[in-house]
Amino acid sequence: MGDVGEEPLGGGRVTAGVVRVGETVRRPRTERSDFVASLLAHLRARGFDAAPTVLGIDARGRDVLEFIDGRVPPELDGSYSNETLSAAARLIRRYHDATADFAVARTAEVICHNDLSPCNFVFRGGSPVALIDFDVAAPGWRLDDVGYALFLWLNLGTDGPAPPEQARRIRVFCAAYGISADERVVRAVADAVARNLDRLRASGRAGDAEWWQKQLEWITVHRRDLGEALDGDA
């Protein structure tokens, strides 16, 4: 049971122990807390208002962040509209651009969020308006983040639309982000899924790894179809 006034947060894939208290979110501190606080402060200084503000540490030693009102999807969805996909891609581009001059990004391009799932976005009126959960953010390359985002937002794999429709949706997403939709992007998707599969296996999550293996197999089988469909519309 939580303390009076604490509301366990649902939706998305919430970290254990995260609760809402009034207009704040309380999260157990981790070894990543100081980095995340610095990143969020940098975003705010750069005028990026689509992430929570860090408000300090409470009496129980938990991180205190601004609560962003809206809906967080509980699962992936392969039916997002062109408008929703474009809004997500534009928001990701704004985020990346705002992190490009963050000090620790100097060895890479940006600070990758590294889990750009719809389940880590806040929606209002059916459109993504904010990013949350920066626990695995780290210096990296734009295309790595975009590849993983494409996989998750389009539900690329066994549960999503057929390759021709997915190629069209890749074009929509990439156009909104501002990059070319080509084989390089398809490769980034496959690489992102393979990296996550390796992480799951290393952490002993065999059940989750089984699903991710099936998605990687789908992408491998249809990789040429996706690439040719994209090239055909170049």
Which pLDDT score is estimated for 106?
A: 79
- What are the Cα distances from residue 144, in Å, to 20, 53, 161, 180? 32, 26, 22, 14
Name, in order, each residue with C-beta under 8 angstroms of 149's C-beta and a sequence gap of 6 or more: 88, 89, 92, 116, 117, 173
pTM over 0.85: yes
Q: Is the pLDDT of residue 3 over 80?
A: no
Burial class (CB in 10 A: 0-12, 13-18, 19+), 158: exposed
Cα 146 from Cα 151, distance rounded (Å): 9
Phi–psi pair at 207, nearest 5 degrees: -60, -45
Exposure class string for 39-65: b at 16+ Cβ within 10 A, else e:
bbebbbebebebbbebbeeeeeebbbb
* Range 205-223 average pLDDT: 94
Which amino acid does the sequence have at 96? H
Give yes or no for residue 15 having a pLDDT over 80.
Answer: no
Average pLDDT over residues 26-45: 95
